Chains A and B, each alone.
Chain A
Amino acid sequence: MTDWINVIVQGVLVGGLYAMFAAGLSLIFGVMRLVNIAHGDLIVLAAYLALVTTQSLGLNPLASLVVVVPLMAAIGYALQWLVLNRTLGDDLLPPLLVTFGLSVIIQNTLQELFTADPRKLQAGNIEYESFPLIEGVLIGKLPLIQFVLAVLVIAALQLIFYRTALGRAFRATADDSDVAQLMGLDNRHVFALAMALSLAVVAIAGVLLAVRANFDPTIGPARLIFGFEAVIIGGLGSLWGTLAGGIMLGVAQAIGAKLDPGWQILAGHLAFLVVLAIRPQGLFPKVQG
């Protein structure tokens, strides 16, 4: 019995990470109806940036966030301003194909620079430490920290979206980009800020990923898919729903892994398909106004 509780707890904790993959994705979709196919590869890029930062500056991985987050945010701003803004419009092919091309470019550039060897960041003893929740159930300190960070990130995004002028600008531009211009808001700048914010979240997710498990240039697409599944399971338009979706996905994968290690990812996909079949709007969809 406690075995299963352990499984669920692990699933919940990794769900926080998936929710972070998802949050950046749904933020961009909400503001500019764009799905960045390179999203997962950007998470991996952040992981490699963390690798380079920790190796050259001798920093602790979590401290490398100080460098990686602003750097990724800047990359996001530039990417949107220079490339992705040109693809926005009614046709969904250009942004999809451009970000697909971007995904290929990032994967192969990382492959050229770092080879396909798996890497991992060391965070020290905290990776092995754990404490008991109840009799027989252990919670790893690092997974718990990662989960708490994920919750904080989502809470921060909620705050930004609903309590700040920037968030107002995001929501207004998403509602009606022409009228938003009449308010003195430059769409190109608003979209670029949204992408910068999304990549800042991606940066955090990337660093956590790098500490948690081995990574290599090819694991991006799987992260994109996990993030996407978390968004759909949780429900479009709701950030807290995305957290719930991530948790569900994590738990489904953990249960699948417990039954048979080869079934881990498949179990997640099946959970996603089941939700799509019986409740396509997701578990906690935001009521559209």
Chain B
Amino acid sequence: MSVRFSDRSARLALAIVAAALIALAAAPLWGGRDDLRLLAEIYAYVALASLWNLLAGYAGLVSVGQQAYVGLGAYLLFALTILLDVPALLAIPLAGVIAAALSLPVAALIFRLRGHYFAIGTWVIAEVFRLIASQVSALGGGSGISLPIAIVTSIGASRQEREFIIYWLALAILVAVLVAIFTLLRSRYGLALTAIRDNELAARSNGIDVTRVKLIVYLVTALGTSMMGALIFLQKLRVSPDTAFSVNDWTAFVIFITVIGGIGRIEGPLIGTIVFFALRQTLADLGSLYLLMLGAVAIVVMLKAPKGIWGFVVDRFGWQLLPLERRLTGAS
């Protein structure tokens, strides 16, 4: 007996994804400045939502504090470039690695909490990071700091060159994040995650080291989130505690995207981001009314269609965009 993954329609979908990737990589050729900025933002949210989805939907670690790592990545980037003269492009992955290392003692603390209390614990961590950041005067303290011109020009000589590079970086990080998630889920860790999600006690008694699996997922999520955070703020050219650690921008929106798209399904964040940006383009003028509506939509989706849009589609039509369902083929 063996474990088989793909399905013909799933292979077709994979081909479509590859074609889309090529088209997007070529965007600087066909897109204007605003298009590139918008796309980079979309990539950021798809990545952040996919990582949150991995943490909450697959590992059952519901965090409302991932802004901790977005901000940590951002601040590490600024610290590495401004204070330690690390080249900007190298600083992004470096920030990710350092943030991942820091996520280990954080996990050691907050893994002592369970369920709902774990969620609030993650929020406390984010607040601690934010308050510490606002105490670091070398990086502007409470008002934050802008990226010095010298560092900006080191990314690329012309504005256009810089925008292209940042755009490709965003795409590259997104692809790396998605590939990492996909690989993880297809590995035996992914199987362990599904088991844990279904029944943690049973998973434990089957010899799965639940804590280790969760720790790995937490680490990977921290790595990816902080790298994306570093990139986001590299593009913004300015960081401050309130923007870097904003609950609204990096948690509320991410959660809404994942909930509406479909939790615990790899395609969910992609669908959710598209819906989110479509809504934003049409409703953004409404200010806090827009946030209010998002909140209401999230509640309604959670109550009426808890599996989100993609979950509903899967249940109804049995589709699957990316081949993740394991099928046991028997010896016959």
Contact = CB atoms under 8 A, between A and B. Distances in A.
Q: Does A touch B (CB under 8 Å) in the complex? A: yes
Interface of A: 29, 33-35, 37, 83, 86-87, 92-98, 100-105, 107-109, 111-112, 221, 224-225, 228-229, 232, 262-263, 265-266, 269-270, 272-273, 276-277, 280
Interface string B233-258: 00000000000000110001001100
Interface stretch (B33-41, B80-88, B168-176, B288-296): B288-296
B127 A225 contact: yes
Which of A93, A225, A269 counts the most B-chain CB atoms under 10 A from its CB? Answer: A93
B156 interface: no
A273 B298 contact: no
A270 B298 CA distance: 33
Given A34-B116, A93-B56, A97-B255, A104 B127 contact: no
A29 B115 CA distance: 11
Given A269-B128, A280-B112, A98 B62 contact: no
A266 B125 CA distance: 10
A109 B290 CA distance: 11
A98 B299 contact: yes
A105 B295 contact: yes
Given A97-B302, A100-B255, A105-B296, A273 B113 contact: no
B299 A83 contact: yes
Contacts of B112: 276, 280
A277 B123 CA distance: 17
| Category for how many chain B residues contact A | 35 or more
Given A33-B116, A232-B113, A269-B127, 9 more contacts: A97-B255, A101-B295, A101-B302, A105-B295, A105-B299, A225-B124, A225-B127, A228-B117, A276-B112
Given A94-B302, A105-B296, A266-B128, A100 B116 contact: no
B64 interface: yes
Contacts of B123: 221, 225
A107 B248 CA distance: 11
Contacts of B110: 276
A140 B294 CA distance: 43
B120 A225 contact: yes
B292 A105 contact: yes
Contact of A98 (B119, B256, B263, B303): B303
Nearest to B288: A108
5 contacts: A37-B64, A105-B295, A107-B291, A228-B120, A276-B113
Interface of B: 56, 62, 64, 109-110, 112-113, 115-117, 119-121, 123-124, 127-128, 131-132, 134-135, 247-248, 252, 255-256, 259, 263, 288-289, 291-292, 294-296, 298-299, 302-303, 306
Contacts of B255: 97, 100
B303 A108 contact: no
Nearest to B105: A277
**Prevailing SS type, chain A contact patch:** helix
Contacts of A265: 127, 131
A269 B252 contact: no
A84 B296 CA distance: 14
Q: Which of A33, A104, A232 has the most CB of B within 10 A?
A: A104
Contacts of A35: 115-117, 119-120
B120 A97 contact: no
Nearest to B60: A92
A96 B120 CA distance: 10
B111 to A, nearest CB: 10
Contacts of A37: 64, 119-120
Contact of B131 (A100, A108, A232, A266): A266
A86 B304 CA distance: 10
B124 A269 contact: yes
Given A93-B56, A108-B289, A229-B124, A273 B117 contact: no
B296 A224 contact: no
B115 A92 contact: yes
Contacts of B132: 266
A280 B123 CA distance: 17
Given A37-B64, A93-B56, A104 B116 contact: no
A272 B124 contact: yes
Given A108-B289, A232-B117, A101 B128 contact: no
B303 A83 contact: yes
Best-buried of B135, B252, B288 by chain A (most CB within 10 Å): B288
B141 to A, nearest CB: 9
Contacts of B302: 87, 93-94, 97-98, 101
Contact of B109 (A87, A102, A277): A277
Contacts of B113: 232, 276, 280
The 8 closest A-B pairs by CB, nearest first: A35-B116, A104-B295, A108-B288, A101-B298, A101-B299, A105-B295, A280-B112, A101-B295
Contact of A102 (B120, B259, B299): B299
